[in-house]
Amino acid sequence: DYILMSNNVRGVMKVPTQPFGKADGINKQIADTAGVPFESVASMKGVQQLDLLDSTHAMLLVQTAAGGLDLKAADLP
């Protein structure tokens, strides 16, 4: 099991849920990353919002180079 998460710094990240129960807390500001490891999903660029469409696809709201938004369906990683 995993969570897909998007932010404006690292793009879409695939975060496995298995290590959640034994991960150390993050109690101070850090310069790079810490905590549960994640995988960057290079095929999902410019994603502003995402949601599960079905068991194998996600719906993505993607910002275009011109600044507009496209609604796309994509395979889950």
pLDDT at 8: 81
pLDDT at 75: 97
Q: What is the rounded distance in angstroms from the CA atom of residue 32 to the CA atom of residue 45?
A: 20
Phi, psi of 52 (to 5 degrees): -75, 125
- pTM, full prediction: 0.81
Dihedral sign, CA of 17, 20, 39, 69? positive
pLDDT at 9: 83
pLDDT at 55: 97
Cβ-contact 19, 61 below 8 angstroms:
no
Q: What is the rounded distance in angstroms from the CA atom of residue 27 to the CA atom of residue 55?
A: 35
Mean pLDDT by 10 residues, the chain (77 residues): 90 95 91 91 94 98 96 96
